[in-house]
Structure 1
């Protein structure tokens, strides 16, 4: 292994190790009742009316949950408190040059520390979160719930999507300390600080999807499913790939991850097997308003 790769692996393992000690993961615990969202200057600020209905749907469907809609400033202060022992993570968060990059990083950071559900402000809850995990899996040890964003069964899929099966990260449910979150936080932190040191963070060719978005998210999930940390690895095929999840119409569990079909978090898109929003498996509707693209005011 080249020295540069040894240094990279050592740096990642160091961050992952410290995070695992600080944010303990116990898959037997219940999912926390938090629902996390962010909106620039908070619910009382300009423009919130555009997303008030969708944001309110989470309260209407889940009256017992603790729903937090944080302003950018509140999110930053919360992360400073939660990650005070990890100055390199705070440095990486502050160094990210675009709101979308910080929004991506925030969802992983808040779920690792506090758990619950993160969902973009332009998503609407179609059903209570209590039905996301079907009855046959209620007694299983599930630590992470993800949905399929894309499953393009066509030869030119790579022209439209980054991965053959791509997991969405506009809505995620997790227990605190989940290993997937540790891994993606360590990766983003290391890469951000490396690019900062090299003066490349403002590179216009930097891919959000690959750097902090669903491509990286998908890769880290598959890495977890294939990694040595999985205690039941011997019961699975030699390699967990996209073929495990393509075309699924009902939830599928692998290790401690429950994968929901494309209809669950991406209903009504009209292709890739996505069913209408009134389908029993349709849980979340994403409005794709692109509010994250706007600069902070």
Structure 2
């Protein structure tokens, strides 16, 4: 009888292996490198994977946090950061609408012309309300206070602080014109990473009866402000306005036009500025006496204060110089349309 050759033996071995594979698909047999020693496979126990946890983006806010603490958490302040390249203005209509006042087109365009590369937005009332809801969704009391304000000017005042707190940049009233770019507001002798806010003197009345005309002896402008997001002054003014409005709302106290200057205007703004300056003054009291008769910029802590000429040139009172003065940065035309409303 003829013995099978090596080729036939190999074929037969392959056939056997294939039959084992198909007839025993769940076999626990392991095929080692040496086919002559077949042994049971040693299987590792299945690894029990723990459910994957989502990384926390932020800790849960505790119920006992105050509004100020919540605002500080939501909008942190970094003095060493750059000033954001935003320009914010508010008006009833946007510049691309026919209803936009033609007298305002040239002043509005001056901001874009002086600041190429900046994002310049003119925000109407509906957009302001939508942005407030979006940016302050984690602080519902701020949204409630905004909605409770009965006059458009009160909401416009409040919104300038809100947008600067959340996003930073420059806010300026629609009836202002840029005379110099913002980079020139800070002198070359001052490093921008030591300045968190640039403000200007609004009024410096050297009168015995100044209270008849102004709400503070020295008032700071709130028609033009440059700030880094999260600045403590902005946090404080937002908290003060929110708390006062909600308190009046709970008491059923109506607001009227006399509240504009105190509740959301230069009164509460000036008080908030003084509050912060006294926080960082190392125990030395800061008051209106530190700013009266200023003729040059003053750097206190992280605040740069411009003299009255800075944002009020050409008013020909209280020491303000003309529009062409080196210290003149922004021209205010004092339309005062809110008084008509």
SS in structure 2 of the partner of residue 216 of structure 1: helix
- Of residues 113, 117, 132, the one that matches 1:79 is 132
| Equivalent residues of 1:103, 1:292 under 8 A apart | no
Q: Following TM superposition, where does structure 1 have runs of at least 4 consecutive aligned residues deviating by more than 2 angstroms?
A: 204-207, 291-295
Moved more, 55-64 or 139-148: 139-148
State the partner residue of 1:261: 307
Within 5 A, what are the aligned runs for 1:5-24?
A: 14-24=66-76
1:193 to 246, 251, 255: 246
Q: Distance in 1 between matches of 2:334 and 2:74?
A: 35
Q: Which secondary structure does the structure 2 equivalent of 1:146 belong to?
A: strand
Q: Within the alignment, does 1:35 sit opposite 2:87 as a pair?
A: yes
Are 2:97 and 1:51 equivalent residues in the alignment? Answer: no
TM-score, normalised via structure 2 length:
0.78
What is the rounded CA distance, in whole Å, between the counterparts of 1:174 and 1:290 in structure 2? 24
Query: Whole-Å Cα distance in 2 between the matches of residues 226 and 75 of structure 1?
Result: 32
RMSD: 1.8
Aligned equivalents of 1:212, 1:140: Cα separation in 2: 29
Q: What SS class does the counterpart of residue 87 from structure 2 fall into?
A: strand
Q: Is 1:152 the equivalent of 2:205?
A: yes
TM-score by length of 1: 0.90
Q: CA deviation at 1:130?
A: 1.0
What's 2:57 paired with? none
- The answer as to whether partners of 1:126 and 1:282 remain within 8 angstroms in 2 is yes
Over 3 Å counting, the alpha-carbon distance change for 1:45 and 1:73 in structure 2 is farther
- The answer for the alignment partner of 1:272 in structure 2 is 318
Q: How many residues align?
A: 278
Pair 1:169–1:205, CA change in 2 (3 A): closer
Relative to 1, partners in 2 of residues 1:84 and 1:140: Cα closer, same or farther, differing over 3 Å?
Answer: closer
Q: Deviations over 1:68-126 (max 9, x none)?
A: 11111111111111111111111110110001100110000000000000000000011
- Long gaps (5+) in structure 1: 1-12
Among 244, 260, 263, the alignment partner of 2:290 is 244
Counterpart CA distance in 2 for 1:186 and 1:23 is: 13
The answer for unaligned runs of 5 or more in structure 2 is: 1-64
Give the Cα–Cα distance (whole angstroms) in 1 for the partners of residues 338 and 125 of structure 2. 11
SS of the residue corresponding to residue 36 of structure 1 reads strand
2:232 aligns with: 179
1:10 match:
none
1:217 corresponds to 2:269: yes
Higher relative contact order (CA 8 A, sep 6+): 1
Separation in 1 of the partners of 2:188 and 2:111? 22
SS state of the match for residue 184, structure 1? helix
Post-superposition Cα deviations, 1:232-261, rounded to whole Å, max 9, x if no partner, equal x33xx6201111111111110111111000
Match of 1:136, SS?
coil
Work out whether residues 192 and 201 of structure 1, in 8 Å CA contact, stay in contact via their aligned partners in 2. Answer: no
Give 1 or 2 for the bigger CA radius of gyration: 2
Q: 2:334 corresponds to which residue?
A: 288
Give CA-to-partner distance per residue, 1:36-91, whole Å, 9 cap, x none: 01121322141432211110000111112110111111111111111111111111
1:8 match = none
